[in-house]
Amino acid sequence: MGTFEGKVVVITGGNSGIGYATAKAFREQGASVTITGKREEPLKKAAAELSVTGKLTDQASLQDIDQLVTEVKHASGKVDVLFINAGVAFFAPVEHTSEEQFDTMVNVNFKGSFFTLQKFIPILNDGAAVIFLTSGNTALAMENSAVYSASKSAVGHLAKIAAKELAPRKIRVNTVNPGPTETAMQHKFGFDDATLEAMKGHILTQVPLAKMGRPEDVARMVLYLADHSLSSFITGAEFFIDGGMAL
């Protein structure tokens, strides 16, 4: 029997990368998993591959979040693990960041994370685990990432305050902060393979362990934080999975 046998897990942004790897790991340990995504075809494909439930949800839309909570409540009752993972990134200097890019990142990464947590609180089991995906960028002052880093830093602060507010119900709230990780997301930034390889080479010079992370590395940390038998005394903490880059 898996560690999460009979547990109800919700993962936002679960149709690729870290969300996909985490959904797969929870399924392998017996959990009942719902993933969300805002692109219908990739979501359907991932849900079928993983044998999980897929819900079309834009994390920036409060109406979508309400619908998600209603459907999860109807199907499963209460939630044991909430992994708020969906996020977007655009990289540009402060001087050249558009209002649209600013709004998209703040609405998905911060506002969306905030209201996903808020609206799920009533259907979280006492003793549930909430994990936010932030970013290794929260510890860096990396050029071209002002809005992205700030939106993820805001989520980190939200998690700490939520950890205090939800402690009376023994709901633990933590963040995982990945560094450079091999995911399809990198291709969505519109870089060609040669540019990506050059960027990767540059990044690796800043990572003490001199390698990229894998989605599975992050997934293992999420499962650790979701497992009450391993992490019952951990809340309001942040875990950098970045090969030492934040150092």
Q: What is the DSSP letter of 213?
A: B
- Residue 59 contacts residue 36 (beta carbons within 8 Å): yes
> How is residue 123 written in tokens?
């259907």
Q: Per the residue annotation, which of 4, 20, 110, 148 is the catalytic one?
A: 148
> How is residue 99 written in tokens?
């209002």
Q: Residue 124 is inside which H or E element, if any?
A: strand 124-133
User: Which residues, in sequence order, are CB contacts of 163 under 8 Å at separation 6+?
Assistant: 172, 173, 174, 235, 236
Q: How many CB atoms lie within 10 A of CB 48?
A: 10
> How is residue 209 written in tokens?
């362990």
Active site residue 20: no
- Residue 226 contacts residue 84 (beta carbons within 8 Å): no
| Distance of alpha carbon 168 from alpha carbon 235, whole angstroms | 12
- Which active-site residues does the annotation give? 148
